[in-house]
Amino acid sequence: MLSIKLGKILFQGRSVFVKEELHQQTRQIWGWLNSVFNRVDESRIKEVGPDRACAEWLLRCGAGVKWDTGSDEFLRDYNSLPVGNYRLLHILEVDATDSAVMLIGFPHFRGVNKVRKAIFHRCGYIEDDAVAALGYLKDSLRDLQLSSCGNVTDAGILTLTQMKNLERLYLYDFLEVRNRKKCIAELEKALPNCKIIFPFAREEDRDEK
């Protein structure tokens, strides 16, 4: 009986180890695929223009774009990208909710100069450097939401002081942000014409009086 129980314990332990190994391998594969999806192809940008190339990148990563065609609908299906007239279309809005966008893809925003609103919500690959790279959009962006991006710290939030043309900034739910009050104060000082909304997400985030 003892040997049978010991065998079961060893089997269960081995099973847990195998599952953890498979999970780790799966994460590595997805990380590699996402880095491929984010890679900048300069020849493609030259061929179709910055807005079209940027839209292709965003849709590959699971984001959506709204064109300057007058439609209120976000395009989210890569296969539905318009054929031809690439350089006549410009991106007005970006919704990157639950997308796999990461820093290496942000240079796609170079030359994309009509984006007025962007949402980055639950973007697991966004870190401080990616937030800083939003500077590519600083001339056109008026409305920005950055929320539930668990790898962003105070340093990343403070890079948003460069976004001088923002009129509305919504920030929410950052596990790694330690001094919310300081972030708000610095942002308000740097962006006097911007409405800054940064509520606490959890009771432990509430500012001390």
pLDDT at 30: 53
- Residue 12's pLDDT band, with cuts at 50, 70 and 90, is low
Q: For 23-38, give one letter per residue: b (16+ CB within 10 A) or e.
A: eeeeeeeeeeebeebb
Residue 137 has pLDDT above 70, yes or no: yes
Give pLDDT tens digits for 193-209.
Answer: 999 999 988 666 665 44
- Residue 86's pLDDT band, with cuts at 50, 70 and 90, is confident
pLDDT at 85: 83
pLDDT at 209: 47
- CB count in 10 Å sphere of residue 71: 10
Structural domains in the chain plus CATH codes: 39-205 (3.80.10.10)
Give the whole-angstrom CA distance, residue 174 versus residue 150.
5
Please provide residue 26's backbone torsions phi and psi, each rounded to the nearest 5 degrees.
Answer: -65, -45
pLDDT at 92: 98
Write out the E strands in the chain: 64-67, 91-95, 117-121, 143-147, 168-172, 195-197
Give the whole-angstrom CA distance, residue 198 versus residue 82.
37
Percent of the chain exceeding pLDDT 70 equals: 80
β-pair partners for 65? 75, 94
Cβ atoms of 56 and 33 within 8 Å: the answer is no
Residue 116 has pLDDT above 50, yes or no: yes
- Mean pLDDT, rounded, of the chain: 88
Give the whole-angstrom CA distance, residue 94 versus residue 146.
12
- Residue 23's pLDDT band, with cuts at 50, 70 and 90, is very low
